[in-house]
Amino acid sequence: MRILSTWNSILLELYILWPCIMSMSFFNLPAQELKLENHVRVKRGWSWEPLHVTEEQEVKKPMYVGQLKTDSDGHDGAIRYVLFGDGAGTIFVMNEYSGKISVLKKLDREEKPFYTLRAQAINRFTGVPVEAESEFVIKVLDINDNEPKFNNEPYIADVSEMSSKGTYVTQVIATDKDDPTHGNNARLVYSILQGQPQFSIEIKSGIIRVDSQIDRETKAQYQVIVQVKDMIGDIGALSATTTVVINVLDVNDNAPKFQQKTYEMSIIESVTIGEIVGTILADDIDIGKNAEIIYSIEERGDYNMFNINTDSLTQEGIITLNKLVDFESRSRRYNIQVRAENKYNPELFDTATIRVYVVDVDEPPVFLEREYVMEILESSAVGSHVGSVTAKDPDDTDTIIRYSILKNKHYRLFDIHPSNGSIFTLKSLDREVDLWHNLTVTATEAKTPAYVSYVHVYIRVMDVNDNAPQFQSISDIYVCEKARLGQPVHTVTAIDKDEPNLSHPFSFTQPQDEYTNANFTITDNRDNTATILTAQDGYSSQDNLLFYLTVIISDNGTPSLSSTSTLTIKVCDCGIDNNTEFCGKGGFFFKFVNSGAIVGISIFILLVLVLALLVHVRCRKNQNRISEKGEDLKENIVTYDDEGGGEEDTEAFDITGLRQQTVMRERKPKRTIRTDIQSMYRLSLGLGPDVAIFKEFLSEKLEEANTDTSVLPLDYLHCYAFEGTGSPSGSLSSLSFTETNVSETDLYY
């Protein structure tokens, strides 16, 4: 290739310089000189070296390119060289004395690959041309200064799924502005950066082919990133990338699948032939014509009772009634088996069973399923969709169904869309609080609210790793004073409220700062337990009775959760057998209590008991004394509840106890009283009032009470506790009056 490139350059220069050669003085020689041409070698008038400039060179001052000169130049300054043509004076200059050519500025081969110039040699003194005008070329040499560019972007291609390896997909083409004849500057290679192993590319041509089997149902579109480099990918090569979008075309390779294996439908006995019983739908994950389905009823069961047709728009199977049904006279349930097969490939099919129930008129809506089981993650946000329930009205397919949730302990956590039966959350859920939520959903006819149907919805809360592991209940941990280095002390177990498949196994570690100076270490047993080991020989309860071990427990969830706990390890004298069971049964307590302390504590407890017994006996005696007085007082008060008979009544008991008690009387309305009667209450307490005055006072009050008709009469027994001592007036009670002294007013009351 390099030899061919050199010959091309020589031929190009000969082609350019051929007119100059033809116009040289060799062909204008006089006739006498032509006669000697077979005998004398004639020299060429002009001579020059190859002229070329490398592109993108920075030119701060004129840079030498080459030299033109004539054989007639005697180097005496008589010849003046003149430069004409493309770029003369602006890009190239020539020294008029030496014929040396220089370039003035940086050149770009991609803008202009060569410059055609002319030169002339003139006698400086006579102005006569010494040589004929000559034309020459200055070539701009290429460098790798242009990165390759992809043509015809963007690239979009199609390929059928299941295509075999090596199947042609498309071709990408890139070009480079650098000189393809000069080195490897424009020699390109292709590679794939993204899109393997499904596709590969030919390194020189850029043809993309299938390299492994592809499935449209797995991925319908690929974005393949292709890179191109010049200089055959050598060091210093320039590169470019492009994205090829490859669409995977569908192939009819999937069978239709029913959404349910068993469908339940219902019809009322009054429906006519041809009426729609229900619809079923089988899904085909292929697209376009490859997803077209034909439904049919297999010849088994009650196949002659119904027909099925395919809706070309929705691809549903519409089941219609073929014969009349009677709720009272025949079976109330019909079983048929339907088949959904691919329209263009009958070998691709699926089957389902349909149960048609005949119901009497005026029936409530019927749910499509007898019960619903739904699942939702406990981390789902409030308002997340849980699932849907669907009910149909067997009486009228156009009846609007309204859904609601019956109130129970879980109904406040969920709500349901009244029109479409979609269930969504109202509050955050926690699997560790409630794993299952049981709801009862009702479906009611909008036109006839009395017709209501019910269905149970069981919602399972799926676990997420949201609980950190914790230690299980830990008993007291003891270490013997004579324990050796590396000896097991205790085995601890961790638990996690999350499900085991999310959190197990646990890992047990110590903080780094405590691990280096630890008195104990912990070893992970890889079965959610860990063993505490001693980290030294021997322990002293006198120096340090308690040790603390910090343990970090981490689960295996995503993300991993951890908790930090501190274990307390007690040092114990385990005796000769070096057994910690002694510590657990009281050895730890008696470690601090010697025999003398036990005797002292026993004596103190005995003294406290004796003192409590003495206090109890003393209190019982005082209580008996008080009760005896209380019995006398209570007996007299209860027995004598009238006004009494004066001295005769007071002789039966000691009234001294009553005098020692202060009787608080209610405040009475102010009345006009006689001023000469002073402190009748004090007189009644035994101060010895004047008998005549006191008798007159009582008579006045009695008459006032008997004649007052505005209020109910009051028995003076309720107003006066007693009459006092030494009263000669006798009884003042109205009960002692005779019939002759009772007026009509008294009888009224």
The full DSSP string for 249-271 is EP-S----EES-SEEEEEEETTP
* CATH-assigned architecture of domain 12-141: Sandwich (2.60)
How far apart CA 316 and CA 259 sit, in angstroms, is 11
How far apart CA 147 and CA 176 sit, in angstroms, is 6
Nearest by Cα to 493 from 509, 510, 473? 473
Evaluate whether 87 touches 114 at the Cβ level (below 8 Å). no
- Domain over 366-460 is classified CATH 1.10.150.20: no
How far apart CA 145 and CA 55 sit, in angstroms, is 9
Q: What percent of the chain has a predicted confidence (pLDDT) above 70?
A: 74
CATH, domain range 257-359: 2.60.40.60
How far apart CA 134 and CA 22 sit, in angstroms, is 10
| Tens digits of residue pLDDT in 366-412 | 899 999 999 999 888 999 999 999 998 766 567 789 999 998 777 78
| Tens digits of residue pLDDT in 678-701 | 444 444 444 445 567 767 778 877
CB atoms under 10 Å from CB of 303, counted, come to 18
Output the pLDDT for position 351: 93
* CATH-assigned architecture of domain 149-249: Sandwich (2.60)
Q: How far is CA 223 from CA 170, 187, 239, 720, in A?
A: 13, 26, 19, 114
- Residue with the two structure tokens 């040499």: 141
104 residue type, one letter: L
Evaluate whether 248 touches 161 at the Cβ level (below 8 Å). yes
| Tens digits of residue pLDDT in 454-490 | 999 999 998 888 778 878 777 788 888 888 888 888 8
Bond from prior residue into 559 cis (ω within 30 degrees of 0) = yes
Evaluate whether 451 touches 362 at the Cβ level (below 8 Å). yes
Output the pLDDT for position 144: 80
Q: What are the start and end residues of each CATH 2.60.40.60 domain in the chain?
A: 12-141, 149-249, 257-359, 366-460, 470-590
Q: How far is CA 129 from CA 31, 49, 72, 81, 185, in A?
A: 21, 22, 11, 10, 44
Judge residue 482's burial from the number of C-beta atoms within 10 Å of its C-beta, 0-12 exposed, 13-18 middle, 19 or more buried.
Answer: middle
Output the pLDDT for position 434: 87
Output the pLDDT for position 726: 54
Q: What are the tokens at 314?
A: 């929705």
How far apart CA 70 and CA 135 sit, in angstroms, is 13
- Residue with the two structure tokens 């699948």: 257
Q: How far is CA 485 from CA 530, 534, 546, 579, in A?
A: 17, 5, 18, 17
Task: Please indicate, yes or no, whether the overall pTM of this predicted structure exceeds 0.75.
Answer: no
Q: What are the tokens at 260?
A: 């349910």
Q: How far is CA 724 from CA 672, 681, 686, 690, 733, in A?
A: 23, 9, 6, 12, 15
| Tens digits of residue pLDDT in 62-106 | 888 888 888 877 778 888 888 888 888 888 898 888 888 888 888
Q: What are the tokens at 409?
A: 């302990």
How far apart CA 659 and CA 647 sit, in angstroms, is 16
Q: What are the tokens at 142?
A: 């290429």
How far apart CA 12 and CA 50 sit, in angstroms, is 12
Distance of CA 223 to the CA centre of its chain: 29
Output the pLDDT for position 460: 93
Evaluate whether 133 touches 25 at the Cβ level (below 8 Å). no
* CATH-assigned architecture of domain 470-590: Sandwich (2.60)
The C-alpha R_g of the chain, in whole angstroms, comes to 61
**Strand-pair category, 207-210 with 168-171:** antiparallel
Evaluate whether 205 touches 168 at the Cβ level (below 8 Å). no
DSSP, collapsed to helix, strand or coil, labels residue 526 as: coil
Evaluate whether 242 touches 150 at the Cβ level (below 8 Å). yes
Output the pLDDT for position 747: 43
Evaluate whether 114 touches 137 at the Cβ level (below 8 Å). yes
- Residue with the two structure tokens 């005896």: 628
Residue 380 bridge partners (DSSP): none
The rounded average pLDDT for each run of 10 residues, N- to C-terminus, in the chain (749 residues) is: 52 51 41 36 59 82 85 81 87 87 86 88 86 86 85 92 92 88 85 92 93 90 93 85 94 90 87 90 89 90 89 91 78 88 91 88 82 91 93 74 86 89 91 89 87 92 83 81 84 82 79 73 85 84 82 81 84 77 58 55 87 83 57 44 50 48 49 48 49 74 74 52 51 46 43
657 residue type, one letter: G
Bond from prior residue into 154 cis (ω within 30 degrees of 0) = yes
Q: What are the tokens at 19?
A: 């007119």
